[in-house]
Amino acid sequence: MILTVTLNAALDVTYEVDALVPRDSHRVRAAYERAGGKGVNVARVLSALGTPATVTGLAGGPTGQLIRDELRAAGLRDELVPMAGDSRRTVTVVSREDGDATVFNQPGPQVNPVSWADFTARFARLVREAAVVVLSGSLPPGLPSDAYAQLVRSAAGAGAATVVDTSGPALLAALAAGPDVVKPNAAEIAKVTGHQDVVAAAEALRALGAQAVVASRGPEGLYAVAPQGAWRATPPHRLSGNPTGAGDACVAALAASLAHGDPWPVRLREAVALSAAAVPCPVAGDVDADLYDQFRTTVSVENTHASHVH
């Protein structure tokens, strides 16, 4: 089983309007709600691939209840832990005229120490069933910046591998706990390490504790720097669309192939193919299964060296 952690779970609301006009009053033509947060999206992709996934994290209040109801309706195993406060919403306004999306992200409620203790106890129990744990997304207000580091250590103690997809101080603090894979994007690791060269930046993150680093350069593909070597995987052609969905699909593929024990070139091929299959889907957590099957045979993976990558 793969356990995905969403500490700042959200109800993702989509409003369809005829066209978004600032300062105007809009009639919402259709409204959709579904459980969101990066870990939830990863679990949804895994579930679509037939890989059993369990969702844990924190959810509270009436919005938390809606998140949990929707997770269950989607057939995902819900192990979210109740918290004080009402979970956040995100509102995405989609224009019917041109398909453009405008997003409003609420920060989420403050997590108190009791809710965090409840969560870590539940996590310690769940992780014993997990082959891989995915830690995705920003930390909600109120949590210590080493929250992911604590969970990586707890997972390692139970023999589970960890994939961390976060940024900023939460990423830096997680490195010290030695996660198996971290997946920042190239801009993020350049910011965190000061290296513009992707492989050099990845090596710097490895020096800080990460065992392997997978860095995304968006439509240009993925780099992996691991104890076994360094690789680059490129999609057959550049795709543009939903970058959030692509990132979450990438993490889902990395987690699934880590659980399968695939070698790195296969992991990268799967990650690029699944990301590319998510890009055309407007909602994060969805993938186009036909595109995925097609891309798996056409992604190219090559060995790479620091000097070739800028």
DSSP string, 55-105: EEEEE-HHHHHHHHHHHHHTT-EEEEEE-SSPPEEEEEEEETTT--EEEEE
Which of 1, 84, 101, 124 is the binder for its own copies (CB under 8 A)? 101
> Tokens standing for 35?
């459980």
- The site map against its own copies for 49-68 (x = CB under 8 A) is -------------xx-xx--
Which of 2, 3, 10, 17 is the binder for its own copies (CB under 8 A)? 17
> Does residue 248 carry a catalytic annotation?
yes
Nearer to its own copies by C-beta: 15 or 223?
15
Q: List Cα–Cα distances, 269 to 15, 53, 135, 254, in angstroms.
A: 35, 21, 21, 10
Active-site pick, 146, 248, 262, 286: 248
Question: Applying CB under 8 A, does 167 fall inside the site for its own copies?
Answer: no
Using CB under 8 A as the binding criterion, the count of chain residues that bind its own copies stands at 27
Nearer to its own copies by C-beta: 17 or 299?
17
> Tokens standing for 83?
């918290």
Question: Applying CB under 8 A, does 141 fall inside the site for its own copies?
Answer: no
Of the listed pieces 42-50, 105-113, 149-157, 266-274, which binds its own copies according to CB under 8 A?
105-113
- How do 101-105 and 53-59 pair as beta strands? unpaired
Residues 6+ apart with CB under 8 A from 187: none
Q: How far is the CB of 106 from its own copies (least distance, A)?
A: 5
Q: Kindly list the strands in the beta sheet with 132-136, ordered across the sheet, starting from the edge strand earlier in the chain.
A: 77-82, 53-59, 2-6, 132-136, 161-165, 181-182, 212-216, 222-226, 229-234, 300-303
Nearer to its own copies by C-beta: 104 or 261?
104
Q: How far is the CB of 284 from its own copies (least distance, A)?
A: 12
- The site map against its own copies for 194-233 (x = CB under 8 A) is ----------------------------------------
- The site map against its own copies for 30-49 (x = CB under 8 A) is -x------------------
How many of the other CB atoms lie within 10 Å of CB of 97?
Answer: 10
Exposure of 10 by Cβ count < 10 A (0-12 exposed, 13-18 middle, 19+ buried)? Answer: buried
Question: Applying CB under 8 A, does 20 fall inside the site for its own copies?
Answer: yes
When computed from its CA atoms, the radius of gyration of the chain, rounded to whole angstroms, is: 19
Q: Which of 40, 208, 21, 202 is nearest to 102 (CA)?
A: 21
- Active-site residue set: 248
Interacting residues with its own copies (CB under 8 A) = 15, 17, 20-28, 31, 62-63, 65-66, 91, 93, 95, 100-107
